[in-house]
Amino acid sequence: MKPREIKKDIYYVGAVDWDRRLFDSLIPLPDGTSYNSYIIKGTEKVALIDTVNPPMKDVLLDNLDELELKRIDYVIFNHAEPDHSGSIREILAKYPEAKAVCTPKCKAMLIDRFMVAEDRFKTVEDKETLSLGGRTLEFIHLPWVHWPETMVTYLREDKVLFPCDFFGSHIATTEMFVRDAGQEYEAAKRYWAEIMMPFRLQIQKNLEKIKDYKIDFICPSHGPLHDKPQYIMDAYHSWAYDEPGNIVVIPYISMHGSTRAMVGYLVEALARRGVTVKQFDLAVSDIGKLAAALVDAATIVIGTPTVLTGPHPNVAHAAFLANAIKPKAKFATIIGSFGWGTKVVETTAAMIPNLKVEIIPPVIIKGYPKEADFQALDKLADTIAGKHKDAGLV
Ligand code: FEO
């Protein structure tokens, strides 16, 4: 995408990556993504905010040429992850007078990863400012959104926040601002689940730290920009603080149909009791959709057959991810079937130590479910619905 003016002398110069389908060789990107960079011109100095993923560096370099910039004085690195910092060597080579501006931790990480010379850096402390002439950049250290070195940049006179990953979403679009609020909400929620949710408590502190800043625009480094920023700030507040909903998420897999029959029965039983259920077959599910569903689930029910005494490997993968992203669920349990012997409960429970949940007694059966097994699932549905009610989630 060519440079686009956001406000007078503030330009979008980033790159839209329509075709990328996986991030970190892990996170699905069903809607592509973008690496947003911005040019801010003052009366005396010019700043570039963040760079782009290395394979798209020519898009950024061409955009800077198109603006016919004589110089760039500061390149602001809000975050050291290579999708935003990876063009550092090319940018600093093209603009030899430019200083890389970042937190001290970010400087160390950029030197480690990109072998940039020490004298190219200017580190900034929390709340430090830099004048561009008529425009002032304020750097607010917000660690753990989502690495330890992260900061955001606030352009005071224009009330624009450049938060890098914070408030972002993986969407490729030709629209500069959010115009499809439904698509944005879903994409931002899965993005929150995948990279921000593990740091929910630190993010609460960070939301508190920026709450008194007047913000007209949020310009993140992924996805469309926010010209109605309250929308995404309210969403982040809700995801960070709110109690989970009256929701059960069931990630499961079945090999010969027994566990699937149990899951189907339990879904119906819960729905009859007024509980919302989201069911994910781990043989085919988008793991990002599962992560998003975990944001406000009160209970997680893992469904797995027994494979070589433990859970199915796809379930182990999902359990590992759920443990890493630390959803705020309050209850968990396991259901499933085995053929001749099992240690599935002990093995699976040991995989989720980070989940601060009350374990509800599992329902593990031999072979295909029979009348007594369905009764046990009805009892489990009663227990879950009752716990949600007692916790005030209904
Ligand atoms: Fe978009 Fe943490 O990088």
CA of 242 to the centre of ligand 1 (A): 25
What rounded mean pLDDT belongs to the chain?
Answer: 97
- Segment 115-141 shows an average pLDDT of 98
CA of 24 to the centre of ligand 1 (A): 10
Residue 134: pLDDT over 90:
yes
pTM of the model: 0.96
Atom 3 (ligand 1): residue with closest C-alpha? Answer: 81
User: pLDDT category, 1, cuts 50, 70, 90?
Assistant: confident
Residues above pLDDT 70, as percent of the chain: 100
- pLDDT digit string (tens) for 76-96? 999 999 999 999 999 999 999
Structural tokens at position 55: 């394979």
Atom in ligand 1 nearest the alpha carbon of residue 35: 1
What stretches of the chain show up as alpha helix (H) in DSSP? 57-66, 82-85, 88-94, 104-114, 181-191, 200-210, 230-241, 258-272, 287-294, 313-325, 344-349, 371-390
- pLDDT digit string (tens) for 304-344? 999 999 999 999 999 999 999 999 999 999 999 999 999 99
Residue 296: pLDDT over 80:
yes
Atom in ligand 1 nearest the alpha carbon of residue 150: 2
Q: Which residues surround ligand 1 with Cβ inside 6 Å?
A: 79, 81, 83-84, 146, 165, 221-222
Distance CA 152, CA 143 (A): 9
Residue 15: pLDDT over 90:
yes
**Residue recorded with tokens 């439904």:** 182
Measured on CA atoms in the order 318, 324, 325, 331, is the torsion positive or negative?
A: positive
Residue 28: pLDDT over 80:
yes
**Residue recorded with tokens 């029910």:** 301
CA of 46 to the centre of ligand 1 (A): 24
CA of 388 to the centre of ligand 1 (A): 35
Provide DSSP, 347-363. HHHTT-TT---EEPPPE
Distance CA 143, CA 31 (A): 28
The residues pairing with 278 across neighbouring beta strands, listed in sequence order, are: 249
- Segment 191-220 shows an average pLDDT of 98
Please state whether the peptide bond connecting residue 256 to the residue before it is cis, i.e. omega within 30 degrees of 0: no
Contacts of 23 (CB under 8 A, 6+ apart): 29, 33, 83, 170
- For residue 102, the model assigns a pLDDT of 98
- Segment 112-124 shows an average pLDDT of 97
- pLDDT digit string (tens) for 374-391? 999 999 999 999 999 999
Atom in ligand 1 nearest the alpha carbon of residue 195: 2
Contacts of 126 (CB under 8 A, 6+ apart): 139, 140, 141, 151
Map 187-237 to HEC letters: HHHHHHHHHHHHHHHHHHHHHHHHCCCCCCEEEECCCCEECCCHHHHHHHH
Amino acid letter for position 94: K
Atom in ligand 1 nearest the alpha carbon of residue 222: 1
CA of 100 to the centre of ligand 1 (A): 18
Burial 319-351 (b: 16+ CB within 10 A, else e): bebbeebbbbbbbbbbbbbbeeebebbebbbeb
Residue 47: pLDDT over 90:
yes
